[in-house]
Amino acid sequence: MAGRQPLDVHLQELPVYDLLLIRAIFVLILATAAWFLQPFGLTSPLAAATGALLGVLIVLAEIRLKQVSLKRLIGAAVGSVLGILGAFLISLVISWALPGSRGTVSFFQLLILLVMTYVGLIVGAAKGDMLNLSALGGLFGGEKAQKQSFKILDTSVIIDGRIADICRTGFIEGTIYVPGFVLDEVQHIADSEDPLRRARGRRGLEVLRQLQQETDLEVRVHDRHAPHTGDEVDARLVRLAKAMRADIVTNDHNLNRVAELQGVRVLNINELAEAVRIHVLPGEELTVVPIREGQEADQGVAYLEDGTMVVVEGGKPYLNQAVDVVVTSVLQSTRGKMLFAEPKLSDSQTDHDYTSRTYPSGRKRRPVR
């Protein structure tokens, strides 16, 4: 990974100005050729204007085709070929039905050819997304398709910081992509006058540095799929994900819902954290260390490794020391999960047979009665 460019160097951007220059030269060449050749008997100024207009139309078609997926291109090509074939068969019928009217027949044949080709092109492009190119293997399937999967990072998940650890464990596969407008927003936060926002923004930039060194990270390369139209960052992020067939990685609840409504797959870091929390049922045993007193008398408060609060009734005498407890109830609220427990009775105080082997993070087996 030593050969990677620094994060904020724009070498990975498309050469926009070079492309504009090339397109302008192309239009100028067509206009100049039409000026000298004067096709269809046109005067030189009118011929030059016609050549320039044709060049602009070709450039617009090229820009549009760059944004079309391979499936749509294949579908459009197949549809247009089928349309031409259908027009040819219909033309044979018209020639047989109107043998004496060659001018009329030629007009109808040309009209049918244009209509059938256009209809085949549009229908084929619309149905192109139904093609399963991965079934062809080779260039279109298998490992190649997996490598081209993109995960787009949102601003909130970058400044959160946990994405670096998740990527390091290998749970997120494919290419990680940071849009330019998201990077600009992180930089704006890093330059904020508020010390807290400035610290979060700088942490976000540091997280991106780590991702660039440890993962396949791309920046700004594919922003052309969602050009700026005055909309907000979240709306542009969803448009970009739809155009790239990519997933959005975020911890923003509102963005999560909006993206899902538009058919974009979302990987929510908060949902992942909730999924890996330790699930405890009443009657199970834990080993905890109360670190402070509770609100009620003789209560002690401890925390599990995932941050779950454990209120130990009668746990005040055990402050700052490990104690075996039995969970009595579980309270689920909007703030998270809270456990209530009591110190485990000694063997002389109960006839229950508790096993001594513990689970990871100090969690023990449920007592066998």
Domain CATH number, residue 150: 3.40.50.1010
**Position 136 in a domain:** no
In which domain, by residue range, is 328 found? 285-362
Same domain, 161 and 93: no
Contacts of 76 (CB under 8 A, 6+ apart): 68, 121, 122, 124, 125, 128
Q: Domain boundary residue among 105, 130, 155?
A: 130
Contact (CB, 8 A) for 99 and 143: no
Q: Domain boundary residue among 275, 307, 337?
A: 275
E strand spans, the chain: 150-153, 175-178, 217-219, 247-250, 266-268, 285-288, 292-293, 300-303, 309-312, 323-333, 336-343
Contacts of 167 (CB under 8 A, 6+ apart): 176, 211, 214, 215
Residues in the chain: 369
Give the model's pLDDT for residue 167.
85
Same domain, 253 and 344: no
Phi, psi of 327 (to 5 degrees): -70, 130
**Position 137 in a domain:** no
CA-closest candidate to residue 182, choices 201, 161, 210 = 201
**Position 203 in a domain:** yes
Same domain, 267 and 148: yes
Same domain, 93 and 216: no
Is residue 312 scored above 90 in pLDDT?
yes
Same domain, 190 and 246: yes
Same domain, 227 and 159: yes
Same domain, 224 and 305: no
Question: Which has the higher per-residue pLDDT, 137 or 198?
Answer: 198
**Position 207 in a domain:** yes
Give the model's pLDDT for residue 72.
77
**Position 347 in a domain:** yes
Lowest-confidence region among 175-184, 271-280, 306-315: 271-280
* 71-104 burial: b if 16+ Cβ within 10 Å, else e: bbebbbebbbebbeebbeebbeeeeeeeeeeeee
Same domain, 271 and 298: no
Question: Which has the higher per-residue pLDDT, 7 or 302?
Answer: 302
CA-closest candidate to residue 242, choices 216, 220, 218, 266 = 266
Lowest-confidence region among 7-16, 132-141, 164-173: 7-16
Give the mean pLDDT of 99-106.
66
Same domain, 339 and 309: yes
Same domain, 63 and 155: no
**Position 367 in a domain:** no
Instruction: Dump the DSSP string for 24-42.
Output: HHHHHHHHHHHHHH-GGG-
Q: Domain boundary residue among 250, 275, 300?
A: 275
Tally of domains in the chain: 3
**Position 3 in a domain:** no
Give the model's pLDDT for residue 347.
54
CA-closest candidate to residue 258, choices 232, 230, 231, 235 = 235
CATH number at residue 292: 2.40.50
